[in-house]
Amino acid sequence: MTAMLWLPIAVLSAGALSVLAIGMGATPGRPIPCGLAKGVAAAAVLLALVLSAMTPEAVRPPLLRLDMLGGSIQLVFLAAAMPLLFVMTPGDEVPPALVLGSLIGMALVAAAGSLLMLFIGLELMSVPAYLLVARSRSTRAMEASVKYFFAGSAAGALFLMGMALHFSAAHSLDLASAPGPLGEAGLALMIAAALFKLGAVPLHFWLPDVYEASDPELAGFFSTGLKAAAALLLARLAGLSQGPILSILPWAAALTILFGAVVALRQQKLQRLLAYSSISHAGFMMLAVAAWARQGQASSAAGALFFYLAAYLFMSGGAFLWLKVSGFSSREQLKGLGRVRPADAAVLSVLLLALAGIPPTAGFAAKFLVFWEAFKAGLYVPLVLAGLGALLSLGYYLGLIRDMYFDEPMTAKVISEGRQDLDTAASSSVEAALGQRALVAAFAVLTVLLVVMPWLVDGLWAGGGR
């Protein structure tokens, strides 16, 4: 069973090397590397699904471990890479190899059995992300990549310092509590590194610029896959705390929710608005982790975190993919869209309602589960503040829907001049464009199906717990 824990990681590693090798010898423009990357990611998802069903509650070899939480969230971030690979332009082997490389790091975080393995996974998932941002089409991509690199380096340095303090207190790098204030200080530094990756306030400063400068599909992967891995990293570390950290984390979550919601109200650029929205949703993930840790790592609280991440995969991933397919970049361009392109407006409306937490979408069920677990954990005041943040978020989510259905349509000339400088229409075939639109529509449908058919997620969670 121990050897099987390496299978998803081994498949991803072999796939990344194969993509690079084939790309070096293939004719430019051929879709072989990108197609192979899609197959490798799909195989890793299937292996993780089978492994989570076969693995007992906890397997703890020296360097790796796999439990219900890690096995289930591993499925989320592996699945989050599939839309990015699906819409990726064929012909260049480097981007799909970088995506697979980042997934290797995330898989190591999911299966890490020691602090050292957590750090290796943290760095492996981050370095390819810096390069992916640099290869984006935006004129500010290089600037954002450098900012992302220095923010990520700061997070890595914090984790290393915390790991050193933890080792001084516990004389071990195992995932276990370290006694005394020295151990708590080390754990606080490592948790700060996790909050960096999650985009929590006040460590969020890099996130809006990086998301805005990245290609929309890449920003969607960051907001779903990387956040799921960061939330898992935070849960691993928060579960080790026996001191005041667990008292601070809910308040940091409430601050993150409120800040993201308030600042998003002022945004006119759609991608930047969704970036601040992702900060607010990161606060809900933090609140779910805090409730889980405060309840002694209860299975029901872990299930709420998993459901939230699974629902957010479709909500946020679908919204960013919609920007990719439509080419819109500002709120002004959405005016009257419900009359000009009713199908596109309907799909975006469903995704926005899900992000806002309006029933009967998965966003409502996800937030309700997090609120319920926070209530059970006794986090009453942070819970009220989180509810206020969720209420404020209606201002921009419903505001976008109002723009589409109640404002006058823009002229075709203004829409054309305001479109983002994307090359989707030029570089992709009609069939590919239709496939991408179908994928966005499927994400919108799934945000509803996760509510009316909860067994879709409950089955995965139960499988991960056996």
C-alpha 443: how far from its chain's center?
15
Range of lowest pLDDT (15-24, 215-224, 320-329): 15-24
Q: Which of 34-43, 267-276, 333-342 has the highest mean pLDDT?
A: 267-276
CB 205 within 8 A of CB 132: no
Tens-place pLDDT, residues 140-159:
889 999 999 999 999 999 99
Confidence at residue 62, expressed as pLDDT on a 0 to 100 scale: 62
Confidence at residue 419, expressed as pLDDT on a 0 to 100 scale: 44
What string of DSSP letters covers 346-380?
HHHHHHHHHHHT-TTSHHHHHHHHHHHHHHHTT-H
Q: What's the pLDDT band for 431 if we cut at 50, 70, 90?
A: very low
Confidence at residue 285, expressed as pLDDT on a 0 to 100 scale: 95
Quickly count: other Cβ atoms within 10 Å of residue 309's Cβ.
Answer: 27
Range of lowest pLDDT (20-24, 73-77, 220-224, 458-462): 458-462
Structure tokens at 445: 């449908």
Structure tokens at 226: 């990387």
Domain boundaries, the chain: 3-465
pLDDT over 60 at 61, yes or no: no
pLDDT over 50 at 429, yes or no: no
Among positive and negative, which fits the CA dihedral 140, 146, 148, 151?
negative
Structure tokens at 71: 């096995």
CB 224 within 8 A of CB 80: yes
By three-state DSSP, how is residue 205 classified?
A: coil
Minimal CA–CA distance to 261: which of 387, 364, 393? 393
Confidence at residue 302, expressed as pLDDT on a 0 to 100 scale: 85
Q: What's the pLDDT band for 466 if we cut at 50, 70, 90?
A: very low
Q: How far apart are CA 177 and CA 413, in angstroms?
A: 62
What string of DSSP letters covers 267-327?
--BHHHHHHHHHHHHHHHHHHHHHHHHHTTS-HHHHHHHHHHHHHHHHHHHHHHHHHHHH-
Tens-place pLDDT, residues 377-425:
889 999 999 999 999 999 999 999 999 988 877 654 444 444 443 343 3
Confidence at residue 35, expressed as pLDDT on a 0 to 100 scale: 74
Tens-place pLDDT, residues 327-366:
888 888 888 888 888 888 999 999 999 999 998 899 999 9
Quickly count: other Cβ atoms within 10 Å of residue 400's Cβ.
Answer: 22
Confidence at residue 111, expressed as pLDDT on a 0 to 100 scale: 86
Tens-place pLDDT, residues 435-455:
788 889 999 999 988 877 655
- Over residues 44-48, the mean pLDDT reads 78
Confidence at residue 295, expressed as pLDDT on a 0 to 100 scale: 86
- Over residues 126-152, the mean pLDDT reads 90
Structure tokens at 131: 């390069």
Confidence at residue 5, expressed as pLDDT on a 0 to 100 scale: 65
Q: Which of 23-27, 53-57, 113-117 has the highest mean pLDDT?
A: 113-117
CB 229 within 8 A of CB 125: yes
Q: What's the pLDDT band for 41 if we cut at 50, 70, 90?
A: confident
pLDDT over 90 at 195, yes or no: yes
Q: Which of 88-97, 293-302, 312-321 has the highest mean pLDDT?
A: 312-321
Range of lowest pLDDT (71-75, 92-96, 137-141, 343-347): 92-96
Q: What's the pLDDT band for 281 if we cut at 50, 70, 90?
A: very high
Q: What's the pLDDT band for 300 if we cut at 50, 70, 90?
A: confident
> pLDDT > 90: what percent of the chain?
43
Range of lowest pLDDT (180-189, 227-236, 312-321, 457-466): 457-466
- Over residues 300-327, the mean pLDDT reads 90
What average pLDDT does the chain have?
83
Q: How far apart are CA 224 and CA 395, in angstroms?
A: 23
- Over residues 163-191, the mean pLDDT reads 87
Confidence at residue 56, expressed as pLDDT on a 0 to 100 scale: 47
In three-state form (DSSP H/G/I as H, E/B as E, the rest C), the secondary structure along 1-54 is CCHHHHHHHHHHHHHHHHHHHHHHHCCCCCCHHHHHHHHHHHHHHHHHHHHHHH
Q: What's the pLDDT band for 65 if we cut at 50, 70, 90?
A: confident
pLDDT over 70 at 225, yes or no: yes
What string of DSSP letters covers 167-182?
HHHHSS-BSS---HHH
Q: How far apart are CA 287 and CA 354, in angstroms?
A: 19
Structure tokens at 160: 């290393």
Confidence at residue 453, expressed as pLDDT on a 0 to 100 scale: 61
Amino acid sitting at position 192:
A
Structure tokens at 28: 């430019």
DSSP code of residue 334: G
CB 125 within 8 A of CB 102: yes
The residue written with tokens 């709420």 in the block is 304
Minimal CA–CA distance to 315: which of 383, 269, 364? 364
278 versus 42: the higher-pLDDT residue is: 278
Structure tokens at 79: 């699945």
Which residues on neighbouring strands pair with residue 371, listed in sequence order? Answer: none
Confidence at residue 381, expressed as pLDDT on a 0 to 100 scale: 94
Among positive and negative, which fits the CA dihedral 29, 30, 36, 41?
positive
CB 77 within 8 A of CB 19: no
Confidence at residue 410, expressed as pLDDT on a 0 to 100 scale: 67
Confidence at residue 412, expressed as pLDDT on a 0 to 100 scale: 44
Q: What's the pLDDT band for 54 if we cut at 50, 70, 90?
A: low
Structure tokens at 254: 């409430």
304 Cβ contact list (under 8 Å, min separation 6): 288, 291, 292, 366, 369, 370, 372, 373
